[in-house]
Structure 1
Amino acid sequence: MTGSAPRYAIYFAPSAESALWRFGSATLGYDAIGGGEKPFAVPPGCEALDWAGLTSEPRRYGFHATLKAPFELSNGRSEGALRAFARNYVAGRTPVTLAGLAVNALGHFIALTPAEPSEALQHFAFDVVQAFEPFRAPLSEADLARRLQSPLTPAHRAYLEAFGYPYVGDAFRFHMTLTGSLPQDLVSPVRTALAGAHAQAVPAGPLLLDRIAIFKQADRASRFTLLDSLPFG
């Protein structure tokens, strides 16, 4: 793989009409449905920060939770076949209900994570990884080298070799990224500010994982855009 081929990803992205989608997209300054810029909703107290810079990395991907990480298509597989398979996949599925989402720091970046653990979510996420695996081309040497720069456990290495991504199966952690890597002194105040903004913008309560989304990146210099949003059932 040259890196110039399109990449696809299987994500959870809430419906475009939801308060959660509006909050996430405005935080990142990017609407992956239309592929266009959005005015930033900078959380109160963060106006003096370089918000565009702090969110530049997740802005490339759009607001989402990763289920199957970005991949190029394997030989003999087409975009049309991927989309058709995804439509068939969602037809027989039922939603997964999460108790809610909370704003947390994951290392140096801020993300929405489940308020409570969910075994059903873990099973669902790994099922997606495995079901769509035939569409994934092997990692290029450059992509593999990039992944190996991170410290990986033997289990992570095994997942990377099997599925092209180390954080699947029991290593999966559902998260919807809101910032890039922050300086240590900003992690706590930005988390607090985003938690307040999230509470104001998104009604509290359970989150229904009732769809999957296919996102597409035309080439490595492009942002990901929404190709299909596919409700279950």
Structure 2
Amino acid sequence: MSYSRFAIFYVPPEGSLERFGARWLGWDIVQGCKVDQPDLPELHDVTMAPRKYGFHGTLKPPFNLAEGLTFDDVKAAAAKLAAGLAPASCDGLCLTTLGRFLALTPRGDIDGLRRIAAACVRELDMFRAPPGEAELARRRNARLSPRQEALLTEWGYPYVMDEFRFHMTLTGRLPKNDIPAWIEVLQTHMPSLTEPFIIDQIALCGEREDGRFELLHRFTLTG
């Protein structure tokens, strides 16, 4: 199968959180297949935006491959990167409202998570093709700050480095009045969240021809 874009994600290891995320979104990023969602009104529509990416936390945002480079090149570089990176942890995860969507976000000191994400962005940047004018214009429609504009210019994405905020998206944009109800629904469906939250691996993922992402390879952090 060919892939239009690649990304470095955190994908939970096999367990209750990974199974919950796949079922909630209706897409199993690990197996690369659809999953039956809970029988809840409007859930299919509410999760449509994050479904294509699967349940994950972004470390290096999706990118087109630079000319002359291959998947094997990216895979080898990701393996080398992981071998030199130490794992990171924080107190845990919690359900959070980010703007108008819901996500799991980290609690406590996130310096270690930022360190891993920054290394993924920086060390794999040579594999990223420069964004086109249409993509840049779309990003700029979000009313970027001067710092975010500088990051977009340098790294092709405005929410990296010091603007990075780790999150695992659970819904698309919600009507403001619907947010409390969806928080309540999620709280009844989520598994117990393990404490501390540990990132000890990264995942190279690819965007398939159907627009959905699937896991291609996991790399354990052994630095």
Same-fold call, TM cutoff 0.5: yes
TM-score, normalised by the number of residues in structure 1: 0.90
Count how many residue pairs are aligned between Structure 1 and Structure 2: 221
| Matches of 2:3 and 2:31, distance apart in 1 | 21
TM superposition shift of 1:119: 1.5
| Matches of 1:21 and 1:211, distance apart in 2 | 14
Given the alignment, which residue of 32, 37, 41 partners 1:40?
37
Is 1:225 the counterpart of 2:223 in the alignment?
no
The residue type paired with residue 229 of structure 1 is R
Is 1:172 the counterpart of 2:164 in the alignment?
yes
Q: Which runs of 4+ in 1 moved over 6 A?
A: none
Structure 2: give runs of 5+ residues left out of the alignment: none
| Matches of 2:202 and 2:114, distance apart in 1 | 15
Given the alignment, which residue of 8, 16, 22 partners 2:6?
8
**3-state SS of paired residue (1:120):** helix
Q: Which residue of 1 aligns with 2:48?
A: 56
Given the alignment, which residue of 85, 93, 97 partners 1:101?
93
| Matches of 2:193 and 2:154, distance apart in 1 | 39
| Matches of 1:191 and 1:115, distance apart in 2 | 18
Cα offsets for 1:119-176 (capped at 9, x unmatched)? 2222221111101111000001221121111110000000001011100111110000
Q: What is the alpha-carbon root mean square deviation over aligned residues? A: 1.6
Q: Which residue of 1 aligns with 2:18?
A: 21
Moved more, 111-120 or 168-177: 111-120
Residues 29 and 5 of structure 1: is their aligned pair in 2 closer, same or farther, counting only changes over 3 Å? closer
- Matched-pair contact (CA < 8 Å) for 1:23–1:202: no
Q: Where do residues 1-233 of structure 1 align in structure 2 (5 Å cutoff)?
A: 6-15=4-13, 17-41=14-38, 47=40, 49-198=41-190, 201-219=191-209, 221-233=210-222
TM-score, normalised by the number of residues in structure 2: 0.94
| Matches of 1:228 and 1:74, distance apart in 2 | 20
Residues 135 and 150 of structure 1: is their aligned pair in 2 closer, same or farther, counting only changes over 3 Å? same
- Matched-pair contact (CA < 8 Å) for 1:66–1:174: yes
Identity of aligned pairs, percent? 38
- Matched-pair contact (CA < 8 Å) for 1:102–1:195: no
| Matches of 1:39 and 1:23, distance apart in 2 | 11
| Matches of 1:181 and 1:157, distance apart in 2 | 23
- Matched-pair contact (CA < 8 Å) for 2:3–2:206: no
| Matches of 1:36 and 1:202, distance apart in 2 | 25
Structure 1: give runs of 5+ residues left out of the alignment: none
| Matches of 1:5 and 1:92, distance apart in 2 | 27
